[in-house]
Amino acid sequence: MEENNSLPNKYDAALAKYNTHLNDADIQARVAELIEKKVPENDTEDVKKFLFNCIDLTTLNSTDSDESVMHFTEKVNKFDDEYPDLKNVAAICVYPNFAAIVKNTLEVDGVNIACVSGGFPSSQTFIEVKVAETALAIADGADEIDIVISVGKFLSGDYAGMCEEIQELKEVCKERHLKVILETGALKSASNIKKASILSMYSGADFIKTSTGKQQPAATPEAAYVMCEAIREYYQKTGIKVGFKPAGGINTVNDAIIYYTIVKELLGEEWLDNQLFRLGTSRLANLLLSDIKGEEVKFF
């Protein structure tokens, strides 16, 4: 029995192919240098327009209702007429019980319907509930599903339990994008963020996402840096491109430009596309519009 326990399982074997022994202070220093040297050159109108087109426009409130979500979606419908020179947001992100409302209200092409699922935001429920919730969201019109890893399983070393859930939910999603939220603020260290990134991609994630926005700290440049490094290394080893989505705590245009810069520098121009880069936010849309138009805009 001892001999069997000493054999690495497939998840440990997957992790062993990567450097997951990271130094948090080193990551902080690299991020600080990158921000200082590269962010100013990306503070342009073209970058802001691109970032707007990468937004998953999000409403995830306990006060959401059929009426409020319908009104939220109608703003996206009106956007093209109000701002014909700008590309619309990438997606509308809602709780799964509102997928049908968005589908029945949304009238514009090119804007996807994203739903959180799987016991969001804690991921603490039965796998059967997670599967049913995801399947129901897709049946009601969801194009994309955002789930949270089982953070407790990951932190206790139950990588198989965490990964098998992701695999099962990816089977439900089939060709639809599955975005896997790491809840990086709960993972505490760069090493844990790297491990969770690799395991999520190994299990079928189409995107890895920083945070739910329901726990602090949410997205940070340091977490983004580690995740993008993991995406790059995973692509180099497998040829599979996985997308990146920072979410939660993106409160300023400069915050968004920092994430853009990290993606550009670590992953390159190929990832500067809303099929591989998203921003999860509610407040950023008006802030970007205000910067682009040179006046305060409260459209959304």
CA atoms of 78 and 93, how far apart (whole Å): 17
CA atoms of 126 and 129, how far apart (whole Å): 5
Q: Residue 261 region, left (φ>0) first, then alpha (ψ -120 to 50), else beta? A: alpha
- Calculate ∠ Cα 149-150-156, nearest 5°: 125
**What number of CA atoms fall less than 13 Å from residue 118's CA on the CB side?**
26
CA atoms of 30 and 140, how far apart (whole Å): 44
φ, ψ for residue 128, nearest 5 deg: -65, -35
Known catalytic residues are 146, 209, 245
